[in-house]
Amino acid sequence: MQIRWLKYFTALALLPAILLSAAAHAEVFEKTLSNGLKVVVKEDHRAPVVVQQVWYRAGSIDERTGTTGVAHMLEHMMFKGTKTVPPGEFSRRIAAAGGRENAFTNEDYTAYFQQLQSARLPLAMQLESDRMHNLNLSDAEFAKEVKVVMEERRMRTDDEPHSLLYEKLMAAAYQEHPYQHPVIGWMNDLLALTAADSREWYRTWYAPNNATLVVAGDVKADDVFKLAQRYYGSIPAGKLPLRKPHSEPPQAGIKRIVVKAPAELPYLVMAYHAPELRDPEKDWKPYALEVLAGILDGNESARLNKSLVREQQLASQAGAGYDSTSRGPAMFILDGTPSTGKTVTDLEAALREQITLLVKNGVSEEELKRVKAQVTASEVYKRDSVFYQAMQIGQLESIGLGHKAIPVMLKKLQEVNAQQVQDVAREIFQDDNLSIAVLDPQPISGEHKHANMGGSHDLR
């Protein structure tokens, strides 16, 4: 799977991911093997189960023009066999152990996981460590699997008007930064992608010193370290290429795009460039933005739903999303669907009015307190999911902040004050910093519609 917009989509409904962070962080242990593999263990003994996740610091951000989608393609190929494990056998062995497994790729990383009874952890480690360095990337398997990925692209993007709109919006909003490319890759690049491309990607990035192993559940840290040494310890470190810096220049003027696709309802997205978290101790803007997202859209009575959907009835849905944790430059996103009889212009005006109110009057102590109460409660709820706790550790390790940032981030979120929220709103909500995308719905029948789809099958 690829999850490029997952973080924004979920943020629209829930509190931003970072808000759901760690208490009980005391039970986290870490060790780095001599080959550079960092092992992080979160003990949780509530149930006799364990999750293993291996996170590679290689995502679409590391791709080059012409071979976009290769990170995600390799994720698929990782299930296609090694020197000693035939194609499909990985999944069969995990299934036979009662396990579940999968993988996901996004802009910043690629991760693989298995959930199973804690006694079966050695099996998961044996298989996962094997494919870290013994993958057999055959032309024949590649040829079949790239077709699957093209189907995935059709399903997730080409035939999904909102996804298509986000893809085109990001391509417009980022001028230089690789975040302009979709994680799943452009169809043209998928059509041209070769097994050799995936082999090169694998050779370049799949190495213990470019990975984090996270194990969470009913295990003892010392046992996990021993197992990790046994299964992963002998894999040689790779020589990682120098990562070129990427930047995004100031936008210098509003950008507007229109996307036509078969749909009934129009849709509006306003994306503002925004800072991401770099120094968990010293930064304050990303925390203020997380709180701001909560004030706008953290619950049903938050500003956007209360004002636009319930009171003014201008929108049938309105949301805000921001994720401070990424390797590259972040976005603060507002989105909405106009009510019947209203237009995207009406909706844009209403969203802008909300921004003006924020910038002019700031936020109330009550709103601030409410968001912080939600953060506190979410900390407790988070402990009901071992998988989620492991996800959070792996993600923060992969983007370079490290899991030790989790308690720091929580503390800093609680320290955000109303003035900071107002200040950061004033700073980022500028037209020069804004890209707007509008979905222009097209009827689903009629010949011109086929032309509008620009369907991928036309490319073959």
Partner 1 sequence: MTCAKFFTTALFISGAALFSGAALATPHIQQWQTASGARVLFVEDHDLPMLDVAVDFAAGSGFDTAEKSGVAGLTHGLLDLGAEGLSEDDISRTMADIGAQMGGRFEPDRAGVSVRTLSSVAERNQALDILARVLQHPLFPEPVLAREKTRLIAGLKEAETKPESIADKAFNKAVFGTHPYGFRASGEIDTVEKIQRTDLEEFYRAHYGAKGAVVAIMGDVTRSEAETIAQKLTLQLPAGGASALLPPVNLQVQSSEQRIEHPATQSHILIGAPGMARNDPDYFPLYVGNYILGGGGFVSRLMEEVREKRGLAYSIYSYFMPMQQPGAYQIGLQTKKDQADEALQLTRATLREFVAKGPTEKELKAAKQNIIGGFPMRIDSNKKILDYLSVIGFYGLPLTYLDDFVGKVDKVTAAQIRDAYKKHINPDAMATVIVGAPIVVNPQPASGRAELTPTEAKTENGK
Q: Which CB atom, from 81 or from 275, has the smaller least distance to partner 1?
A: 81
Q: Which amino acid is at 121?
A: L
Encoded tokens for 294? 């909560």
Distance in Å, CB of 380 to partner 1, minimum: 5
Burial class (CB in 10 A: 0-12, 13-18, 19+), 13: exposed
Q: Which CB atom, from 65 or from 313, has the smaller least distance to partner 1?
A: 313
Distance in Å, CB of 339 to partner 1, minimum: 7
Distance in Å, CB of 373 to partner 1, minimum: 5
Name 460's Cβ contacts closer than 8 Å, sequence gap at least 6. Answer: 191
Q: Partners of 2 in the beta sheet?
A: 105
Q: Is 75 a catalytic residue?
A: yes
Q: Please report the DSSP string for 177-214 in residue order.
A: SGGGS-TT--HHHHHH--HHHHHHHHHHH-SGGGEEEE
Question: Contact at 8 Å (CB) between 232 and 68?
Answer: no
Q: Is 36 helix (H, G, I), strand (E, B) or coil?
A: coil
Name the active-site residue from 30, 43, 63, 75: 75
Distance in Å, CB of 375 to partner 1, minimum: 8
Nearest to 48 by CA among 105, 92, 110, 98: 98
Distance in Å, CB of 96 to partner 1, minimum: 5
In whole angstroms, give the CA distance from residue 434 to residue 365. 28
Q: Which CB atom, from 105 or from 433, has the smaller least distance to partner 1?
A: 105
CA 70 to chain centre: 17
Q: Which CB atom, from 22 or from 434, has the smaller least distance to partner 1?
A: 22
Q: Which CB atom, from 104 or from 284, has the smaller least distance to partner 1?
A: 104
- How many Cβ atoms from other residues are within 10 Å of residue 444's Cβ? 10
Question: Contact at 8 Å (CB) between 290 and 322?
Answer: yes
Q: Which CB atom, from 61 or from 375, has the smaller least distance to partner 1?
A: 375
Distance in Å, CB of 100 to partner 1, minimum: 7
In whole angstroms, give the CA distance from residue 21 to residue 2. 23
Q: Please report the DSSP string for 52-97 in residue order.
A: EEEEES--GGG--TT-TTHHHHHHHHTTS-BSSS-TTHHHHHHHHT
| Residues recognised as catalytic | 75
